[in-house]
Structure 1
Amino acid sequence: MKIALIGYGKMGKTIEKIAQERGHTITHRISDDIANHDLKTTDIAIDFSIPDAAFRNITSCFQQGVPVISGTTGWLKKYEEAVRVCNENNSGFIYASNFSLGVNLFFELNKNLAKMMSGFKDYSVSMEEVHHTQKLDAPSGTAITLAEQIIANNNKKGWKLDTAGEDEIPITAKRIENVPGTHTISYESKVDTIKIEHIAHSREGFALGAVIASEWLNGKQGVFTMKDVLFQNM
């Protein structure tokens, strides 16, 4: 495949390395305005840019006939509009708050545990996420996805950063140098604590998942999720 990288920071460079190892070609490395680039000869774009630029980057690709894999978080208020532009241009799109295959398995575990715990009112649920100091948004997109899954399968009504009400999930966000990403969900009662945790050891898991998603999306039209990719590859 011919891949355009939108956002050429640490993640973009890790994706480049893995994509080339898997036999793909990088046609563009974009860190400036996407309007300066003609992407029409590109097979797919992988977007790990910044929240303020993500919607413009993604829809510009669709308008040039280029499907998009996006892992940029913090822009989802415009997600449905991006889906509309994708469909209008008969393009393809996968957004994920986290492309790690391990995290997406963790998502399924989280949903199942939330269902199991929903009948046990003595347990309170909380979450902690830890990332590197360069991460701009808090809580992380992955933490929000996890919280939304718990809300959909449990008796909570919402989530809040730090201090939360009785019917909300408190999320603690920490920023520590050189931490790729750790997410911990705890169910605590007076007598015990149940925890599930995902610890990323490097960016390579996120990057590999994004490349695998690109390979899966290539040649397809429509809007998909990492669940489609995950079960295709299991």
Structure 2
Amino acid sequence: MKNIIITGTSRGIGYELAWQFADAGHNVLAISRKTPQTLLGNKNITCLSVDLSDETEMEKVDNFLSHSWKTVDIIIHNAGSLLLKPFSETSQEDFENIYKVNVFGVANLTRACLPYLQKGSHVVTISSMGGIQGSLKFAGLAAYSSSKGAVITLSELLAEEYKEKGVSFNVLALGAVQTEMLQEAFPGYEAPITAKEMADYIFDFALTGNKYYNGKVLQVSSTNP
């Protein structure tokens, strides 16, 4: 039984992951701004309403960990914010809002959890193929894709900084997945992978990927960008 923190659990991949880990007998801390009522009934899931863009809200996580778990085995940084807007119309505030969730949220939550991470702990950050250098880029996603590139570099750096502690940091750069967020950005587009199917892959990788990888970026896409 492992202690697993998952962000962005109100819907999509994060929601599916929370159920999968809980059903497998693991303890889950499900973090999202809005708490899905359906997760509250599972005895293995603790829901915590946290705004990842607000650094002061990390106190909620620290309070829970210090009083309940004491250790964290896996963090899955799955929460994300997407903006589809032409670059000429994208303001600094737009960029800041995306980066607060996609980059600063990852950094802040990781920092809050550092005292509870131990040898063998695995931190998995969900990025995007749009953040991969040389991959196909889509107009209108300047803030989103650049933020996903930033967390790749952040994870590579943290893997180096904490390798002596035995904590692994890896990134999964996902291709298109059929989620609510994708539909909001690209109405009518049909992705080749469902949220449940991608959650299956992330589930296995979070549990075993640190045996084979540290500081790596794995491209998880069924299409050729």
* TM-score, normalised via structure 1 length: 0.49
How much does 1:93 deviate?
A: 1.5
In structure 2, the residue matched to 1:223 is 215
Q: Give the AA of the match of 2:205.
A: A
How much does 1:68 deviate?
A: 1.0
In structure 1, the residue matched to 2:58 is 34
In structure 2, the residue matched to 1:21 is 23
In structure 2, the residue matched to 1:145 is none
Is it true that 1:9 corresponds to 2:85 in the alignment? no
* Larger strand fraction of residues: 1
Taking the aligned partners of 2:75 and 2:3, their CA distance within structure 1 comes to 9
Q: Partner of 2:154: helix, strand, or coil? A: helix
Taking the aligned partners of 2:199 and 2:155, their CA distance within structure 1 comes to 22
Taking the aligned partners of 1:78 and 1:6, their CA distance within structure 2 comes to 15
Taking the aligned partners of 2:183 and 2:79, their CA distance within structure 1 comes to 11
Q: Superposed, which structure 2 residues align to 1:2-151 within 5 Å?
A: 2-10=3-11, 11-26=13-28, 28-31=29-32, 32=50, 33-38=57-62, 39=65, 40-50=70-80, 51-52=102-103, 53-62=105-114, 64-65=116-117, 66-73=121-128, 74=144, 75=147, 76-90=149-163, 91-98=167-174, 132=179, 134-135=181-182
Q: What percentage of residue pairs aligned between the two structures are identical? A: 15
Taking the aligned partners of 1:15 and 1:216, their CA distance within structure 2 comes to 15
Given the superposition, is the C-alpha separation of residues 136 and 216 from structure 1 closer, same or farther in structure 2, using an over 3 Å criterion? same
* TM-score, normalised via structure 2 length: 0.51
Taking the aligned partners of 2:112 and 2:159, their CA distance within structure 1 comes to 10
Look at both structures and tell me which one has the larger radius of gyration over its CA atoms.
1
How much does 1:79 deviate?
A: 2.7
Instruction: Indicate if the aligned counterparts of 1:63 and 1:89 stay in contact, CA closer than 8 A.
Output: no
Q: Give the AA of the match of 1:86.
A: A
Taking the aligned partners of 2:155 and 2:59, their CA distance within structure 1 comes to 17
How much does 1:206 deviate?
A: 1.1
Taking the aligned partners of 1:48 and 1:216, their CA distance within structure 2 comes to 18
Given the superposition, is the C-alpha separation of residues 136 and 67 from structure 1 closer, same or farther in structure 2, using an over 3 Å criterion? farther
Unaligned runs of 5+ in 1: 104-128, 138-173, 183-198, 228-234
Taking the aligned partners of 1:136 and 1:58, their CA distance within structure 2 comes to 29
In structure 2, the residue matched to 1:204 is 196
Instruction: Indicate if the aligned counterparts of 1:61 and 1:67 stay in contact, CA closer than 8 A.
Output: no
